[in-house]
Amino acid sequence: MSLTGFWQASEHRRLWALSVPMLLANLTTPLIGLVDTAVLGHMGGTAPLAGAAIGSLILTQIYWVCGFLRMSSTGLSAQAYGRGSNVQSSKVLLQGGTVALVLAMLLWLLQVPLVQAGIFLSDASQQLQPILSAYFHTRVWGAPAALLNLVVIGWLIGRQQTRQVLYIQIVGNLLNALLDGVFVYGLEYGVTGVAAASVIAEYTMLVLGILTVRQVLPNLRWTPAWLRMRALKPLVLINNDMLIRNLALQLCLAYLTLQGARYGTHVAAVNALLMQFFALIALGLDAVAYGVEALMGEYKGRKDQRRMWLTLWRGLFWSQGLAVLYCLVFAGGFSGIVALLTDSAALREDARGYYVITLAMPLIAHVCFLLDGVFVGLTRAKAMRNSMLLSALGVYFPLCLLWLDWQNHGLWWALLAFMAARGVTLGGYAIWLLGYRRQAV
């Protein structure tokens, strides 16, 4: 299939009109994390910060694994939007919301064993355990809102309402920061106050999301038949594949963190610094992928394979450009960024040993980030699952063992190879699916 029409300006503008609001929305998340950290860090001693950090980490990892709710909602919503079917759009929202609520109920029921598991895995001290428990047991009441928000936000992205998503994120994060101050400094609720601020912010975002949905689609429809197991089966299958994909990715990142910690506290600290570079890259590259998700789903809904093909290459073009920009910024500002993250001369010196890895990271990772967006839009969850499993079991873990003598450097080179393998496997399938397969996708 040819690339005639690749440079059509209106399509490039559409992609950026969808991506830029998501980039700005992504930037607000770490900023609010800094506010939480600052408030907890000024409570006196390290226990409040450490205890809340562990409690937050447990929920954050659970929510991240449940990110399949956002992915499936985006892809299915975009396809319904492309078909012009309000009935299908309503169905996506109702079914996704039902799955989210079921998972939230499970979190409520399992909150005690989850806290105990967190205490065991983190080896939390007697001093930290009550703080961890107080934070988690308060914050978990926001689980229904947090998981429903994944569905609503995903649905809105699929409907190409990324600017509205940005507004919702800004309001929720600003409210969280404001309530942190009121609950901690005004009402002296301590760690529980920080958790309560997050819960209120999550429900506020849900309300704003629902109001936005009503504006976008005033005539929401629903029928009890959509909630029967037979009707839910296609969504459950997609979500199952995406869940396995997310768990495999999380396993790889967890292995790097835990194995790095075995090389000593100093190495663990260096890995924490490098993960900040990884997070910075994700902020930008994910935004382009979100725009591609919405367009790929729309064009699949229209059965316009030519536009899907062109969207794939336009996305790769801009993702590559952003990756090169990251590389240039890191090349010139690596030492400055590390200095902002730590004042330890020893950590700064050790971090320099990962300079080449840091420069290579965006250039290699952008392909799999972007292609994730392509396959989310197409709701090809099985391809995402297979690529992740093949890259993890066939590339990442074997290389980690092969490069044991390189210790922590071996872990990071294996991670780069893992991301490259994901890009190759997803890319090869995408080219065959969109460029050479004769049947409609």
- pLDDT the model gives residue 219: 85
First to last CA, the chain: 14
Average of per-residue pLDDT values in the chain = 89
Position 123 pLDDT exceeds 80: no
- pLDDT the model gives residue 370: 97
- pLDDT the model gives residue 368: 96
> Model pTM?
0.92
- pLDDT the model gives residue 34: 60
**Could you give the CA distance from residue 227 to residue 300 in angstroms, rounded to a whole number?**
25
- pLDDT the model gives residue 67: 92
- pLDDT the model gives residue 38: 66
Q: In 10 A of CB 377, how many CB atoms?
A: 34
Average pLDDT over residues 380-391: 97
Position 316 pLDDT exceeds 80: yes
- pLDDT the model gives residue 245: 96
Average pLDDT over residues 399-403: 95
Longest dimension (CA), the chain: 65
- pLDDT the model gives residue 72: 95
- Percentage of the chain beyond pLDDT 70 is 93
Position 110 pLDDT exceeds 80: yes
Name residue 425's amino acid.
Answer: T
Position 57 pLDDT exceeds 90: no
Residue boundaries of the structural domains of the chain = 18-227, 244-441
Q: 370: exposed, middle or buried (C-beta count within 10 Å: 0-12, 13-18, 19+)?
A: buried
Express each pLDDT in 317-357 by its tens digit. 999 999 999 999 999 988 888 887 777 788 888 889 999 99
Residue linked to tokens 């709710």: 69
Residues near 17 by Cβ (< 8 Å), separated by ≥ 6? 162, 291
**Could you give the CA distance from residue 62 to residue 393 in angstroms, rounded to a whole number?**
22
Residues near 389 by Cβ (< 8 Å), separated by ≥ 6? 244, 245, 248
- pLDDT the model gives residue 36: 67
Report yes or no: 400 and 255 within 8 Å, Cβ to Cβ: yes
Express each pLDDT in 364-376 by its tens digit. 999 999 999 999 9
3-state SS, the chain, equals CCCCCCCCHHHHHHHHHHHHHHHHHHHHHHHHHHHHHHHHHCCCCCHHHHHHHHHHHHHHHHHHHCCHHHHHHHHHHHHHHHHCCHHHHHHHHHHHHHHHHHHHHHHHHCHHHHHHHHHHHHCCCCCHHHHHHHHHHHHHHHHHHHHHHHHHHHHHHHCCCHHHHHHHHHHHHHHHHHHHHHHHHHCCCHHHHHHHHHHHHHHHHHHHHHHHHHHHCCCCCCCHHHHCHHHHHHHHHHHHHHHHHHHHHHHHHHHHHHHHHHCCHHHHHHHHHHHHHHHHHHHHHHHHHHHHHHHHHHHHHCCCHHHHHHHHHHHHHHHHHHHHHHHHHHHHHHHHHHHHHCCCHHHHHHHHHHHHHHHHHHHHHHHHHHHHHHHHHHCCHHHHHHHHHHHHHHHHHHHHHHCHHHCHHHHHHHHHHHHHHHHHHHHHHHHHHHHHCCCCC
Of 139-153, 211-225, 370-384, least confident by mean pLDDT is 211-225
Express each pLDDT in 186-221 by its tens digit. 787 778 888 899 899 999 999 999 999 999 998 888
Express each pLDDT in 72-84 by its tens digit. 999 999 999 999 9
Average pLDDT over residues 427-434: 94
Name residue 318's amino acid.
Answer: W
pLDDT tier, 386 (very low <50, low <70, confident <90, very high otherwise): very high
Average pLDDT over residues 38-58: 69
Report yes or no: 181 and 217 within 8 Å, Cβ to Cβ: no
- pLDDT the model gives residue 42: 61
39 vs 365, higher pLDDT:
365
CA-wise closest residue to 415 among 365, 354, 372: 365
Position 51 pLDDT exceeds 80: no
Position 124 pLDDT exceeds 80: no
